[in-house]
Amino acid sequence: MKPSLAVRAARILLYLVILAIFVGPFWGIIVTALSGLVIKPGQLLLLPVQPTLANFKTALIDMQVWRYLLNSLVVAIVGTALQVAVSALAAYALARRRFRGAAIVSLLVLSTMMLPEEVISIPLYLVVQARFPVIDASIYNTYAAMILPVVGWAFSIFMLTEFMRAVPKELEEAARIDGANEWQIFANVVLPLVRPALGTVVIFGFIMIWDQYLLPLVVVSDKQLFTIPVMLGMLRVDETITPNVFVAATLLAMAPTIICYLLLQKQFNRGIMAGAVKG
Amino acid sequence: MLKRMTTHLLAGAMLLAATGAASAETLKVWSRQTDESALILKTLTDAFTAKTGIQVESYNTGTDFEQRLARAAAARDLPDVVINDDAALGQMLKMGIIEEVDPTKIEGNDQIVPAAWNSAKGANGKVYSVPISAQAFALFVRKDWREKLGLPQPKTWDDLHKLAEAFTKNDPDGNGKADTFGMSVPASTVRGYASWYMSNFIWAAGGNFVKQEKGGFKPDLESKPVADALGFMRSLFCEGLVQPGAINATTGDALPTFRSGQTGIFLSGPYHIAVLDEQPGKDKIEVLPPPAGPGGVAALAEGTSAYIMTGTKARTAAEKFIAYLISPEGQEIGMGEGTGHTPLVRLPINKTVDVDAVRKDPRWGTFKEVFDKSGHYVPPVPNWTPIRMLTAEGFNKILASCNSDIPAELKSIDQEMAAELRKQKALAE
Amino acid sequence: MSTTRDLPLGDDMPQQSTRAKRGKARRIDWKGASIPWLFLAPALVIFTWFKFYPMVSGLTMAFYDVQFYGESEWVGLDNFARAFTDPDLRSAVAHTLTYVLVSTLTASVLGFFLALALEGQARHLRIIRTAIFLPAITSAAIIAEIWRILFNSAPYGVVNSVLDQFGIAPQGFLTDPGQALWVLVLMQVWKSTPYDMVIFVAGLVGINRELYDAANVDGASWLRMLWHVTLPGIIPSISVVIMLSFIRGFRVFAEVYATTGGGPAGSTETIMTHIYKAGFQNLEYGYASAVSLLLLVATIVLTLIQTLVKARLSR
């Protein structure tokens, strides 16, 4: 039975309203960034006026947004890779092994998500600035200082823990009988089975790292190393640029997360599905 | 693979850290400035190095200066000299990060205008900083708009109100749309903007934040003049004569509204001359003394000071650097005339430097005149920052609601201020 | 999120059988016992270095009058006493609770209906679902900028122009003490509705189709099916949605600080803006730390309650 014309029209209208609400503002931002007409504070253009790419050029080249994008990419890519690796290992222990202290470890890790990061900014600075003995160097003012602290993220660990728990124990037992050691069970049995979940964790990890604002300010003073959110914070109060350029810079800052999401979208959805089906 | 990556990262990190280490002879200077104006500081330090052979490593940030200082203090890794607002003195003193300065050790200290020293003392009367720049507020007005509507330059609050009303209602930009407003006002509580801005009007009304009495200070906001000042500003808000969003605006938010032609009046410091000449344009704006309130003409006077930081190992070099900053040569470089950048030195504090001769721009003369004749520094309480914050909260509350009971609100701000002053052991009981 | 079970707080560690078997095989099996710790080691090193130690060190400050450069002074519970008597903190807590509860509930309800509307494998549905996920992956700071523009109180502001089409007078939005908090709530709803929708879509897929068929045969109304089949089926998803938005919501900061700074008239002051102003503008770090510690404890307690309630519900 095909739905009547009226029902279909109502449905299309509903879709349009939903799209206008959730995607409309982004449309306004894109059009404004592509327009030469300087907007007043509080204005957005819905159709391009004096279309131009000049705002992007100013943002990318004159304001050197490319440099900050590059820094952000280095931090986010390396950081996400390490974060997922470290989280997968930890999740394996928490999900597949029963041991004394597991509960307390879980609670401690979870608690790190509940504390305002501002409060740990001073101790974190001291830790990052501390010089290693023997080599007499610290990670302060390096990419490593922005990467290492985000490698540990409770959220990734818990997501992967949940997924790994769902892997049937029979598979593990079978592998053990075949003489597989712990590492082989982790790498060859459990990990491949949670691949869709890895996609989900990568997306959320990437977004989380990409959005870090306070961390770079605390662990880096060299402006050449600043990341894109820090740059946006400075551009926002920059008295020499037009709002259009700021909007263009904002779009550039958003692009990598959107690309990351679109690339991994299939895995992401499958990851979420898998999680749901288990429940 | 992972392991190799980590090793590389760590190795890279160490390399970077090693090359970043500074030699012992360099003087570390931090300045609370944005990158755009930091170029002038760079010119200054370069000239200083050329002259004395002392290397200077300068660092500036406009976004999180106080937090960086707090972290550096906790790590016992402070710079040698800090260039910061003079109103920050109390807070830096409380943090224990600045050292007493002996003015006689700074060459050229006798050339500093006496008024500028007012803001260099702590509550104990000792000198903790050396002023390097001063400034006061004046009124930027869209001359083209005003002339188009045939209105006079505002001399009184009444004129100001009329002008703001005309700019809002009479389509001064002639585009046929009701899309202009009278005045750009930063009334946010962030960093205490509302208090900082309102102080101009409070003094012009003849009011005060505190009364200095034997044994300390007494809150003094609950008075007719202060109520008048807030009542005047609130009328601008409630009649829709200020830019949309004024109640949440910082100066960073207010500036673009004047620049883009959304408003036609902007009370601000001389550091904005350069950006406003660019847009809306030099020919479109004029600089006028702040209009007189019931208590006459008054404006907030502030300055920038150089501080010597606790534990510095380069005290002599620091003193030499500060002496250079206040010398006629240093002041002139700091004024950055002709660079198009926001100057480090707004009004020179060195008597022998003539603003008009350097600037060749009568608008700077207006700022100087306001500073000399009508400038008010914030009261010398031990730590002004918390008081600025709490009064900003209070003023914001009054301005946000058109039927707030102003005297009652002022009374409650006074109570909070009394509690804060007691905490600072500066309340006259 | 994907998780449909409890966070592993230790109540349901896996496999009794493994434990029994291993118990027999060893007295003290040092090698076996160390294996989980080996897997945990990289995470523990990172967490200890960059999270646990700074956390403990930061929270100890709650008992001090922090002097930054000089010796901090031990003040015992003074900072906590101040927290419990601070009227500004009290209103900040009230604002935060309103913000968290209203935005969480609204977003879950909207997300649920959105999921019902957009559930399915058709291509256009997948495209729409992907597109409207955009707010969920945009950072809070950027969303704040967007909302400052959209909800500008000028008559020509975007939302005011739309309202004008319906004959509604321009609103103050973020500048009106009576509206500002609600605009921020709406912003949070906008950001988390698509997010919740994705979780619910996943949850809906997991519901056994036979239950619907059975209900259909019984002649159950749409509403009854919703109540008796759909809702129980997605309780695990709802639980995840609620807990995550609680943990995040209590620490809401960037969204507020960049739009209103806590104003107008303190109407949007939240726990975090209060902590930030105390700690980083007035530099009363000890007090900021004490309030943070209270926030941490409150969140942990809430999480535990949530876990217990859920365990009871699913039993």
- Read off the CATH number of the domain in which A235 is found: 1.10.3720.10
Run of H or E including A273: helix A243-278
Cβ–Cβ below 8 Å for A85 and B74? no
pLDDT of residue C286 exceeding 70 = yes
**Residue B127 contacts residue B100 (beta carbons within 8 Å):** yes
Q: A168 and A254, same structural domain?
A: yes
Q: What is the pLDDT of residues C158-188, one digit of tens each?
A: 999 999 999 999 999 999 999 999 999 999 9
User: B121 lies in a domain?
Assistant: yes
Average pLDDT over residues B233-247: 96
How confident is the model at residue B23, as a pLDDT? 44
pLDDT of residue A45 exceeding 80 = yes
Q: What is the pLDDT of residues B140-162, one digit of tens each?
A: 999 999 999 999 999 999 999 99
Q: B185 and B175, same structural domain?
A: yes
Contacts of A177-186 spanning 24+ positions with Cβ under 8 A: A182/C35, A182/C39, A185/A96, A186/A89, A186/A92, A186/C39
Give me the residues of C, 255-274, that contact A with CB < 8 A: 272
Cα separation, A124 vs A216, whole angstroms: 11
pTM: 0.88
How confident is the model at residue C56, as a pLDDT? 94
Q: pLDDT: is B132 or B118 the higher one?
A: B132
Which residues form the domain of B217?
A: 138-299+380-423
3-state secondary structure of C54: helix
Cα separation, C105 vs C188, whole angstroms: 11
Q: Cα dihedral sign for A209, A213, A214, A217?
A: positive
Q: B278 and B330, same structural domain?
A: no
Here the tokens at position B17 are: 């850290």
Average pLDDT over residues B265-282: 93
Q: pLDDT: is C9 or B75 the higher one?
A: B75
User: B14 lies in a domain?
Assistant: no
Average pLDDT over residues C88-106: 95
What is the pLDDT confidence band of residue A159, given thresholds at 50, 70 and 90?
Answer: confident
Neighbours of B, requiring at least 3 CB pairs below 8 Å, are A, C
Cα separation, A230 vs A207, whole angstroms: 15
Q: What DSSP letter does each residue of C234-290 carry, written as one string?
A: THHHHHHHHHHHHHHHTT--HHHHHHTTT-STTTT--HHHHHHIIIIIS--HHHHHH
pLDDT of residue B215 exceeding 80 = yes
CATH classification at residue B76? 3.40.190.10
Cβ–Cβ below 8 Å for B71 and A142? no
DSSP B279: I
Is A171 at the interface with chain C, CB within 8 A? no
Cα separation, C206 vs C227, whole angstroms: 16
* CA angle, residues C224, C229, C233, in degrees to nearest 5: 145
- Per-range mean pLDDT, top range of A140-144, B3-7, B34-38: A140-144
Q: A175 and A132, same structural domain?
A: yes
pLDDT of residue C9 exceeding 90 = no
**Residue A148 contacts residue A139 (beta carbons within 8 Å):** yes
Domain end point (choices B339, B359, B376)? B376
Q: A133 and A6, same structural domain?
A: no
Q: What is the pLDDT of residues B44-90, one digit of tens each?
A: 999 999 999 999 999 998 888 989 999 999 999 999 999 999 999 99
Q: pLDDT: is B239 or A263 the higher one?
A: B239
Q: B372 and B332, same structural domain?
A: yes
3-state secondary structure of B156: strand
CB atoms inside a 10 Å sphere around CB C289 = 28
Cβ–Cβ below 8 Å for B77 and A40? no
Number of domains in chain A: 2
What is the pLDDT confidence band of residue C314, given thresholds at 50, 70 and 90?
Answer: low
Cα separation, A23 vs A29, whole angstroms: 10
Q: B161 and B194, same structural domain?
A: yes
CA distances from B400 to B135, B325, B392 (A): 29, 42, 12
Average pLDDT over residues A56-71: 93
Q: A121 and A42, same structural domain?
A: no
Q: A103 and A177, same structural domain?
A: yes
Average pLDDT over residues B215-241: 96
Cβ–Cβ below 8 Å for B73 and C68? yes
Here the tokens at position B10 are: 């760590």
pLDDT of residue C3 exceeding 60 = no
Which residues form the domain of A182?
A: 54-278
Angle between helices B193-204 and B224-238 (to 10 degrees): 120
| Residues of chain C found within 8 Å of residue B73, distances taken between Cβ atoms | 68-69
Is B36 at the interface with chain A, CB within 8 A? yes
How many angstroms from the chain centroid is the CA of residue B172?
A: 30
Q: B149 and B277, same structural domain?
A: yes
pLDDT of residue C19 exceeding 80 = no
How many angstroms from the chain centroid is the CA of residue A217?
A: 18
Buried b (16+ CB within 10 A) or exposed e, A119-135: bbbbbbbbbbbeeeeee
Q: B150 and B67, same structural domain?
A: no
pLDDT of residue A39 exceeding 90 = no
Number of domains in chain B: 2
Q: B404 and B309, same structural domain?
A: no
pLDDT of residue C10 exceeding 60 = no
User: B10 lies in a domain?
Assistant: no
CA distances from B291 to B159, B196, B222, B303, C238 (A): 8, 17, 23, 22, 60
Q: A28 and A73, same structural domain?
A: no
Which of C164, C282, C284, C289 to substitute to test the interface with B, most B CBs within 10 Å?
C282
How confident is the model at residue B329, as a pLDDT? 96
Q: A114 and A165, same structural domain?
A: yes
pLDDT of residue C38 exceeding 80 = yes
What is the pLDDT confidence band of residue B3, given thresholds at 50, 70 and 90?
Answer: very low
CA distances from A201 to A85, A204, A271, C226, C269 (A): 11, 5, 9, 31, 33
Buried b (16+ CB within 10 A) or exposed e, C207-220: beeeeeeebeeeeb
Q: B237 and B117, same structural domain?
A: no
Cβ–Cβ below 8 Å for B12 and A135? no
Cα separation, A279 vs B270, whole angstroms: 65
How confident is the model at residue C17, as a pLDDT? 44
| Residues of chain A found within 8 Å of residue C35, distances taken between Cβ atoms | 93, 97, 182
For chain C, which residues lie within 8 Å of any Cβ of chain B, measuring from their own Cβ?
67-70, 148, 152-157, 174-177, 257, 259-267, 277, 280-283, 285
pLDDT of residue B5 exceeding 50 = no
How confident is the model at residue C282, as a pLDDT? 85
- Over its C-alpha atoms, chain C yields an Rg (Å, rounded) of 24
Is A148 at the interface with chain C, CB within 8 A? yes
Here the tokens at position B171 are: 């389509």
Q: B384 and B361, same structural domain?
A: no
Cα separation, B381 vs B212, whole angstroms: 9
Weakest mean pLDDT among A147-161, B7-21, B206-220, B356-370: B7-21
Q: B349 and B225, same structural domain?
A: no
Here the tokens at position C265 are: 């008239």
Instruction: Write phi, then psi, for B128 (nearest 5 degrees).
Output: -120, 0
Is B67 at the interface with chain A, CB within 8 A? yes
CA distances from B232 to B157, B207, B398, B411, C246 (A): 8, 13, 11, 18, 43
Is A114 at the interface with chain C, CB within 8 A? yes
Q: What is the pLDDT of residues A78-92, one digit of tens each?
A: 999 999 999 999 999
pLDDT of residue A276 exceeding 70 = no
Report the complex ipTM.
Answer: 0.90
Which of B190, B388, B390 to substitute to test the interface with C, most C CBs within 10 Å?
B190
- Average pLDDT of every residue of chain A: 89
pLDDT of residue C8 exceeding 50 = no
How confident is the model at residue C315, as a pLDDT? 60
Buried b (16+ CB within 10 A) or exposed e, B132-157: bbbbbbbbbbbbbbbeebebeebeeb
- Average pLDDT of every residue of chain B: 91
Instruction: Write phi, then psi, for C181 (nearest 5 degrees).
Output: -60, -35
Residues paired with residue B112 on neighbouring β-strands, in sequence order: B350
Nearest to C19 by CA among C5, C7, C9, C29: C29
What is the pLDDT confidence band of residue C267, given thresholds at 50, 70 and 90?
Answer: very high
How confident is the model at residue B17, as a pLDDT? 45
- Which chain C residue is nearest to residue A148, measuring alpha carbons? C46
Residues in CB range of B144: below 8 A, 6 or more apart:
B283, B284
A111 to chain B, minimum CA–CA distance in Å? 24
Q: A65 and A29, same structural domain?
A: no
How confident is the model at residue A266, as a pLDDT? 78
Q: B277 and B398, same structural domain?
A: yes
Q: B274 and B307, same structural domain?
A: no
How many CA atoms within 13 Å lie on the side-chain side of B144? 12
Instruction: Give all domains of chain C, ordered by start, each with its CATH number.
Output: 24-76 (no CATH), 77-314 (1.10.3720.10)
Cα separation, A183 vs B285, whole angstroms: 73
pLDDT of residue C42 exceeding 80 = yes
User: B186 lies in a domain?
Assistant: yes
- Which chain B residue is nearest to residue C174, measuring alpha carbons? B245
Which of A32, A37, A40, A124 to substitute to test the interface with B, most B CBs within 10 Å?
A40
